[in-house]
Amino acid sequence: MTVGLQIAIDGPASAGKSTVAKQVAKQLHYTYCDTGAMYRALTLAALRAKVNLTDESAVLAILKTLQIQFKPGSPQQRVFIGEQEVTQAIRQPEVTNNVSTVAALAGVRRQLVRQQQQIAQQGSIVMDGRDIGTAVLPQAQVKIFLVASVAERARRRYQENVHKGIDTPLATLQKEIEIRDQKDSTRKVSPLTQAKDAVRVDTTALSIDQVVAKIIAITNEKQKDHK
Ligand code: CDP
Ligand code: CDP
């Protein structure tokens, strides 16, 4: 019998992680888990409760009662807090610009990492985030570190916003991405960093399909050793 692998995809903001992770999962019939959505849902709940986002015990009290659920959806996976859909709300600029503060809290990471490990334990999973290959699934058979130039990543976000009717200047988007990457890369607990055994894929000049094909090829190679 073929045993499903764990595929960890990490990288900076807007490198294409969730788009390609979702496609890879679809083609391989694997489960997809967007760990960023978990940090975003918690940030949204904390903002709504008006707690100080650096107050770890206040944020942990919110996390304790938070029921995050994923449901299949297109083009995005749908995200719920309890019965309430928050798929769009967690992508709002206020959440995007505050999520790195919440994600830097050690206690928050401990709990969300545990939940993510439970989700991944059966294998046949594609998980994307910042610390999947280094902290959540250090034993993952496939580790990918996706990068692209910051100008290209800002351009992609800009294009995405145009489709949604959001009018944020390109320079503002690039600045926001740079600030978030800086915070994610310099936090004390499991900062964004490439795992030693991860394959680095620069997507600046690659299409989504090319990146997906590359990851599937790497996975198929690993699968041969993992029967
Ligand atoms: O899709 P995008 O690159 O905008 O970000 P995301 O994957 O939705 O993640 C949002 C934020 O959550 C990141 O900027 C990190 O601060 C945090 N995050 C994290 O710390 N660890 C993860 N495994 C995933 C996300
Ligand atoms: O999850 P992450 O923040 O890393 O990025 P994403 O939300 O998957 O991708 C950001 C945007 O870049 C999306 O609009 C993708 O369609 C686009 N993209 C692209 O144009 N070319 C790629 N090779 C990958 C993503």
CATH superfamily of 6-206: P-loop containing nucleotide triphosphate hydrolases (3.40.50.300)
Mutate to test the pocket of ligand 2, among 128, 153, 156 (most ligand atoms within 8 A of CB): 156
CB 64 within 8 A of CB 58: no
Pocket lining: 156 vs ligand 1, CB cutoff 6 Å: no
pTM across the whole model: 0.96
Sign of CA dihedral 167, 45, 113, 21: negative
Is pLDDT of 87 > 90?
yes
* All residues at 6 or more sequence positions from 210 whose CB lies less than 8 Å from its CB, including other chains: none
Pocket lining: 143 vs ligand 1, CB cutoff 6 Å: no
Which tokens belong to 17? Answer: 């992680």
List ligand 2's pocket residues with C-beta within 6 A: 11, 13-19, 156, 160, 203, 206-208, 211
Separation of alpha carbons 176 and 191, rounded Å:
18
Ligand nearest to the CA of 180: 1
Is pLDDT of 2 > 80?
no
What ipTM is given for this predicted complex? 0.97
Separation of alpha carbons 64 and 108, rounded Å:
10
Domain-wise residue ranges, the chain: 6-206
Binding residues for ATP: 11-19
- Closest CA relative to residue 201, chosen from 6, 5, 14, 15: 15
pLDDT tens for 188-197 read 999 999 999 9
Beta pairing, strands 6-10 & 125-129: parallel
pLDDT tens for 97-142 read 999 999 999 999 999 999 999 999 988 999 999 999 999 999 999 9
